[in-house]
Amino acid sequence: MTGQPNRHAGEKLIATNKQARRLYEFLEVMEAGLVLMGSELKSLREGRVNFMDGYVRFNNGEAWLTGVHIAPYANAGMDPHEPTRERKLLLHNREIAKLEALASQKGLTVIPVRLYFKNGRVKLQIALGKGKNVHDRRDDIKERDMQRDTARQLSDYRK
């Protein structure tokens, strides 16, 4: 480990959804595989992904990643991939059923958090999230400011 947060051995981070932690409170986190085309994989190796309004939807017992933009690969030739197409998530049936049941509750959604390579395969960390309201966000900012002030005062005290 090189001291970077959320980095595990054998993993190479591609992208993180920075808005997710700000807008949602994570209740449960899990890892899923992705079904990709070759040009999408090449584009991911270049780090050209945007989580925009990404979320996971469920259809006929399958999980689909929707709203994530993977830029077209420059050398894809005559048939590049569609940047915002839906991509199938690779999860066990029991995991899909559990997430679908939880996500059907009011106010809960499944969102993509991190995209990374693990042992040569692309993995997506997804989280069951409950939307934060404005007051929760303000509380987070206030708590972060208090921690920063405390750390600053401690560092001044030690000098």
Q: Is residue 5 part of a domain?
A: no
**More reliable by pLDDT, 9 or 74:** 74
How many domains does the structure of the chain reveal?
Answer: 1
* Calpha distance 157→159 (Å, rounded): 6
Residues 67-93 pLDDT 10s:
999 988 888 777 788 888 999 999 999
Q: Is residue 153 part of a domain?
A: no
Domain range enclosing 95: 11-133
Strands 11-16 and 49-50: unpaired
Q: Is residue 96 part of a domain?
A: yes
Residues 40-55 pLDDT 10s:
888 899 888 999 889 9
Q: The CATH number of the domain where 100 resides is what?
A: 2.40.280.10
pLDDT band at 2 (very low <50, low <70, confident <90, very high): very low
